[in-house]
Structures are given as structure tokens and as C-alpha cells.
Amino acid sequence: MVVKIDDVARLAGVSKTTVSRVLNNRGYLSDATIKKVHEAMESLNYQPNAVARQLFKKETKLVGLIFPTVDNPFFGQLVAALEKRLFDAGFKVLIGNSMNDPKKEETYLKELISNQVDGLIVGAQNRGIEEYHNTNLPVVAIDRVMNEDIPVIASDNYMGGKLATELLINSGAKNIINTDGPVNLETPAHRRREAYEDVMKEHRLVPHTHIVDFSWDIEKKRSAVEEMFVEYPEVDGVFATNDMDAALIWQVATSLGCQIPKDLKIVGYDGANSTRILLPELTTIEQPVEQMAKVAVKTLVSRIKGDRNIPLEQIIPVKVWNGKSV
């Protein structure tokens, strides 16, 4: 005979709902009630289904991913790499696209916590969200500064900015613009701009950063790029903080009659597979997506297991993808 939850409730002298709450570890229950339910399950050799067993162990084998958008080639490839490694580690994923909108990010975060995910990997973060500070949930951040307890996995942003700027200068560019944004987001990615500024000053050149916010739609970004060429008519080099902006700058420059790289040299940052296929001519700083995903998943699994002896920042080396835009 198959033992049902009703049988457990009857033997324990509690309601079916109480047994369910014990299995799901939800709501307040006295130690005596929990003990009676456990003894009844053991006596009847009751086997909860897989979901109930996972909840009973306070595990759901679910991990939440919150990123700006998988529409961006870099984040799309990163999410795919994370999902594969998490699946291989026995986890399934729930994904939220935040577009750096604090309200949307907060909504996703609350939903993921309510779904009792075992942990979070986050690449979109607005530091003021209360749940990031108050939850005991294991969290790993990718290229985002959250709080002092959350490990950060990042590419070597400073070295990437240094390599990109030196490439432009060594190829003859002098009036070099850096595009960056949003400036109010706390992220190691801003080290790209810091490196650009340092290298420019080392060569006695004047650094200029033009804001192209990641969360803007394509038309607003296009307008910002067009304004850049008006504001800096002598520009002969651009270090774009991501490849999507680099591609847009290339388009706008071409429409204005510029030849790449004769009149304008461009270096991007990301080096996602799809970008290299669709625009192989773009010289860019390649982030090691697979390695970043591997380290992020390994770190999260360690945190889920209770290991607190984990570096709070792990930096992964970058390299140059040599296209034809410099």
C-alpha cells in the first residue's frame, strides 16, 4: 500500500496542512509538532516526493540569475555558460532581465527569494536594494560591487582598458574618446575608464569620457554617439566600454563618411562569440566568458555548502582580439 500524506497526518494527530508545512519548512511550528510529524513519517516509512524532500532539506536545486539583458551578446553568452555549468552541478536556473532598473531588479529578487532558490548569480545590481543586504541567501556577483560580504568575479578591467588605450595610441591616434555608462553604477568595469585616463595622461594626452548609458534604447544611444562626433570633431580613436557600443559607433562614423581605421580607430570590450562572427573586423578586449562562468559557479556552490573562506574578488585575465579596426 502506498503511504499518503493523509496517513502521516492521521498518525501524527495533525492536519494535512501541518504535515505539508513541515515538509516545506514554512511558517511557525513548534518543535513538538515537527517531532511528531517526523516520527509518523519514519513509522510509516513515508517517502516524500522529490520536491518535498528537497524542501525538507532546505534545498530546491534552483539558482536565480539576474542580468541586465540576454539581448546583449556578452550577457547572453555568459548566461548560457552559467546555465550549462549549473545544470552539470545539479541545479536548474530562473532568469531575470533587469535592464539596470532598480524596481524591476527588486521585483525579480523578491520573486526568486520567495521561490526559495538556493543561491543567486547577479550581473545587474543596484546597491540600494534592501534584500541584497538582509537576505542570508548565498550570492555571487559578476562585475558588480554589492556589499562587503558578496564575492565578485570580474575580468581584469584595468588591464583591458590599458591594453585598449595603448593599442589606439600605438596606432597613431591622439584624440581618443572613451565611452562609458552608467556612471552611478558601482562596478569594477569602471576600471576600464580609469586605465584609459591613466594611459592618456602618461602619454600627455587629454582624456575625454562620453556617456553612453547601457540601459538606453538604441535610438537614444545613436543620438549620444552622434553628439559625440559633434562635440569632438577631431576624434581619431574611440575606446568603447562594450562591443555593442563599438558597433554602433562604427555605423554612425561610416554614415558620416569616416573610414575605419583610416580616419577613426575603434577598440571595443567583451569579445562575445556572436560579435566576433558578425563583426570580426572589430578589435576588442576579450573577456574569458567560460572561465568567468566556471569560477562564478564554483564560488556559489562553495557558498551554498557554507564555505566562507572565499576571496571577495577574483580577477580573470583578458586578451586582445585583433580585428581590423585599429
237: in domain: yes
How many alpha carbons lie under 13 Å from residue 78 in its C-beta half-sphere?
A: 33
CA angle, corner 276, sides to 298 and 245, nearest 5? 90
Task: Report pLDDT for 157.
Answer: 96
Pick the closest to residue 316 from 82, 156, 111 (CA basis). 156
Q: What is the pLDDT of residues 213-245, one digit of tens each?
A: 888 889 999 999 999 999 999 999 999 999 999
Peptide bond into 207 cis (omega under 30): no
On whether the CB atoms of residues 105 and 131 are closer than 8 A, the answer is no
Q: Which amino acid, one-letter code, is at 294?
A: K
Same domain, residue pair 41 and 66: no
CATH number of residue 19's parent domain: 1.10.260.40
Residue span of the structural domain in which 239 resides:
157-287
Same domain, 148 and 174: no
Helix ranges (DSSP H) in 89-190 = 102-114, 130-134, 157-170
Same domain, 126 and 163: no
Q: Which pLDDT belongs to residue 51?
A: 47
What is the per-residue pLDDT for 57?
Answer: 53
Q: Are residues 178 and 232 in the same domain?
A: yes
Report the pLDDT value the prediction gives residue 188, as an integer from 0 to 100. 87
Within this chain, do residues 274 and 247 fall inside the same structural domain, yes or no? Answer: yes
Does one domain contain both 146 and 98?
yes
Whether residue 211 is found in the same domain as residue 249: yes
Cα dihedral 270, 273, 279, 280, rounded to 10, equals 100
Q: Which three cell numbers stand for residue 22?
A: 513541515
Whether 325 is in a domain gets the answer no
Residues 245 and 214 in one domain: yes
- Res 20: pLDDT: 80
Is residue 41 located within the same domain as residue 71?
Answer: no
Q: What is the pLDDT of residue 26?
A: 64
Helix, strand, coil share (%) of the chain residues, nearest 5: 45, 15, 35
Distance CA 32, CA 230 (A): 74
pLDDT at position 86: 97
Question: Do residues 131 and 164 both lie within one domain?
Answer: no
The tally of domains found in the chain comes to 3
Q: How far apart are CA 131 and CA 125, in angstroms?
A: 11
Which mean pLDDT values do the consecutive 10-residue runs of the chain (326 residues) have? 83 88 74 90 77 56 89 93 96 85 79 80 72 74 84 96 98 97 80 97 97 90 97 98 96 97 97 94 97 97 87 96 96
Q: In what order do the strands lie in the sheet with 313-316?
A: 92-97, 62-67, 119-122, 139-142, 152-155, 313-316
We report the CATH number of the domain holding residue 215 as 3.40.50.2300
Same domain, 46 and 118: no
